[in-house]
Amino acid sequence: MKHRPFGTSGIPGWLNRYEPLLLVMFAALSGGILLFIYLTGEVLEGSTKGFDEAILLALRQPGDLSVPIGPGWLTHAVKDITSLGGTTVLALMTALVTIYLLFDRQRAIAIFILVSVLGGWALSAVLKVGVARPRPDIVPHLVEVHDLSFPSGHAMVSAVTYLTLAALISGTRTYRSTRVFTVAAGILLTLMIGASRIYLGVHYPTDVLGGWCAGATWALACWIIARRYISLVPNGERSARDDAPPFK
């Protein structure tokens, strides 16, 4: 019987293969949590008020604060972009991706994505209630809003949804180029949606920064868990299972 040397299988083997990456990801996760805690403390103390208001005012016409800077078509485009972070769009996106992965015979990752996204949404709602920061009133809002301000729900929930989807789906792709594109698209959508909330005057910049920080940290935590406990099988490695029942 051939004995495998210690560290080539099981948990020791996994640590030997992924220890450097694991340490980097754990450091990033810890940094994200600490940054969010620090930012929340500054917001509660009111230390960010001057910074927030200066940016909001800089994005409006000095003679009429109801008019944002830039051409008229830009406001319309920003409103379209911000809708990509709405609950309806994100719920539809998550449902479609989950169903696609089920048909693609990736049941474990499909269920994990659904749970991860719903958990992130719940965390966003809890954080809003906990901080209870009112919406900015220094400039008129260009879209209708009703809930609290910190962290930005659009920024956080879009980060939770798009970054989690991008990170986990990229693990099922065969080619490096498609993995990089998937993650880059998730990051781009997250940044655009968050920036749109500031432009429309419905969030302070620190609301959006807090949303990005919390959402990205949540997505990173989900990615670490998935990498350790869920088998992400690239498309090209599943040809042997093509004839298996899709939901078995």
pLDDT tens-digit map of 34-61: 888 888 888 888 888 899 999 999 999 8
Lowest mean pLDDT among 23-27, 166-170, 193-197: 23-27
Percentage of the residues of the chain whose pLDDT score is greater than 70: 81
pLDDT class of 11 with cuts at 50, 70, 90? very low
Count Cβ atoms below 10 Å from residue 111 Cβ, excluding itself: 14
Q: How far apart are CA 44 and CA 188, in angstroms?
A: 29
Residue 23 has a pLDDT of: 63
SS3 61: strand
What are the backbone dihedrals phi and psi of residue 140, each rounded to the nearest 5 degrees, phi first? -65, 145
With H, G, I as helix, E, B as strand and everything else as coil, classify residue 134.
Answer: coil
Of 193, 225, 224, 230, the C-alpha closest to 208 is: 193
pLDDT reading at 242 higher than 70:
no
Query: How large is the average pLDDT for residues 156-182?
Result: 80
The alpha-carbon radius of gyration of the chain (Å, integer) is 21
Residue 241 confidence (pLDDT): 46
User: What is the pTM assigned to this prediction?
Assistant: 0.78
